């Protein structure tokens, strides 16, 4: 069975080695370690991984800057990124998620939980959706999910991988309320391992990027979200 490639970007070698050992021992993963932001960008170019575990406090380039630059590249726009950092305030988490991270783990962390998150993200990336919707055409929004092409009023819109998957799942379930827990399970690939606040942050960011089509994502107070025609 082919192993998933995980790039660990961490300048503390003890922590990086422990993560690498844990992921490889759990099976199904082949991990590479680099210790700086610029080395991370070079590693992604040389041999694109299936997932990145990215520390924020890095030499040369910060983890946030690395994430921002990767999200601007066509070959890494949808590459799963799990941020790993000692910063634990809500502002820091929201900043990381808005920058395009798929998940956010704070130090000190549980290796078991980190491994579970890695497996879940990889599983979600590989799993086909239950109900495929290839193209949606509305008054303002045009989404070709197979071509990964989103446009609003004829202008292209660039979404992060998580925002893209969130929009696709909401469109697949249009006119139906989808709970935050269901979005965590189906879009993030797991539940209870990430805060529902992450869903709210991504929905808010998605609405903003969709402009005139943003109001099609309605909030069902106390229940979740609904994409309406």
Residues 68 and 148 placed together within one structural domain of the fold: no
pLDDT score, position 95: 74
pLDDT band of residue 147 (cuts 50, 70, 90) is: confident
How far is the C-alpha of 139 from the C-alpha of 100, rounded, in Å?
27
Q: Going by C-beta distance under 8 Å and a sequence separation of 6 or more, which residues neighbour residue 27?
A: none
Q: Distance of CA 36 to CAs 20, 33, 102, 145, 193, Å?
A: 16, 10, 20, 34, 28
pLDDT score, position 33: 96
Residues 189 and 96 placed together within one structural domain of the fold: no
Residues 156 and 115 placed together within one structural domain of the fold: no
pLDDT higher than threshold 60 for residue 1 = no
Of 126, 147, 167, at which residue does a domain stop? Answer: 126
User: What is the CATH number for 213?
Assistant: 1.10.10.10
β-strands 103-106, 81-85: how paired? parallel
Q: Which letter does DSSP use for residue 175 in this model?
A: T
Statement: the pTM of the whole predicted model exceeds 0.85: no
β-strands 217-220, 224-227: how paired? antiparallel
Q: Mean pLDDT lowest for which of 94-98, 120-124, 178-182, 192-196?
A: 192-196
Residues 105 and 142 placed together within one structural domain of the fold: no
Residues 20 and 42 placed together within one structural domain of the fold: yes
Task: Using a pLDDT cut of 70, give the percent of the chain over it.
Answer: 88
CA atoms within 13 A on the CB side of 105: 21
User: What is the CATH number for 58?
Assistant: 3.40.50.2300
pLDDT score, position 126: 64
- pLDDT tens for 184-225 read 877 876 544 556 777 888 999 999 999 999 999 999 988 899
pLDDT score, position 197: 77
Q: Distance of CA 218 to CAs 159, 186, 226, Å?
A: 19, 19, 5
Residues 151 and 222 placed together within one structural domain of the fold: yes
User: Are 35 and 59 within 8 A, CB to CB?
Assistant: yes
- pLDDT tens for 42-68 read 999 999 999 999 998 899 899 999 998
Domain containing residue 97: 4-126
Of 126, 155, 171, at which residue does a domain stop? Answer: 126
Please give the full DSSP string across 108-151, using - where no structure is assigned: S--HHHHHHHHHHHHHHHHSPPSS---EEE-SSEEEETTTTEEE
Total number of domains in the chain: 2
- pLDDT tens for 11-35 read 999 999 999 999 998 877 899 999 9
How far is the C-alpha of 165 from the C-alpha of 133, rounded, in Å?
12
User: Are 71 and 26 within 8 A, CB to CB?
Assistant: no
Q: Which strand ranges, in their side-by-side order, compose the sheet holding 4-9?
A: 29-34, 4-9, 51-55, 81-85, 103-106
Residues 53 and 162 placed together within one structural domain of the fold: no
Six token digits for residue 53: 């575990």
């Amino acid at each position: 069975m082919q192993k998933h490639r995980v790039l660990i970007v961490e300048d503390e070698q003890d922590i990086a080695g422990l993560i690498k050992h844990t992921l490889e021992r759990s099976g199904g993963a082949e991990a590479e370690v680099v210790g700086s932001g610029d080395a991370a960008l070079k590693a992604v170019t040389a041999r694109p991984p299936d997932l990145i575990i990215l520390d924020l406090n890095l030499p040369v380039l910060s983890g946030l800057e690395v994430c921002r630059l990767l999200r601007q590249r066509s070959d890494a726009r949808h590459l799963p990124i799990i941020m790993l950092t000692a910063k634990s305030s809500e502002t820091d988490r929201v900043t990381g998620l808005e920058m395009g991270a798929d998940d956010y783990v704070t130090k000190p962390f549980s290796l078991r939980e980190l491994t579970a998150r890695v497996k879940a993200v990889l599983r979600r990336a590989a799993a086909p959706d239950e109900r495929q919707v290839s193209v949606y055409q509305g008054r303002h929004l045009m989404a070709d999910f197979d071509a990964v092409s989103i446009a609003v009023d004829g202008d292209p819109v660039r979404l992060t991988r998580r925002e893209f998957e969130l929009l696709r799942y909401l469109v697949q379930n249009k006119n139906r309320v989808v709970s935050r827990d269901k979005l965590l399970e189906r879009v993030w690939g797991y539940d209870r391992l990430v805060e529902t606040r992450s869903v709210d942050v991504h929905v808010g960011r998605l609405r903003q990027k969709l402009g005139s089509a943003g109001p099609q994502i309605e909030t069902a107070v106390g229940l979740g979200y609904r994409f309406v025609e």
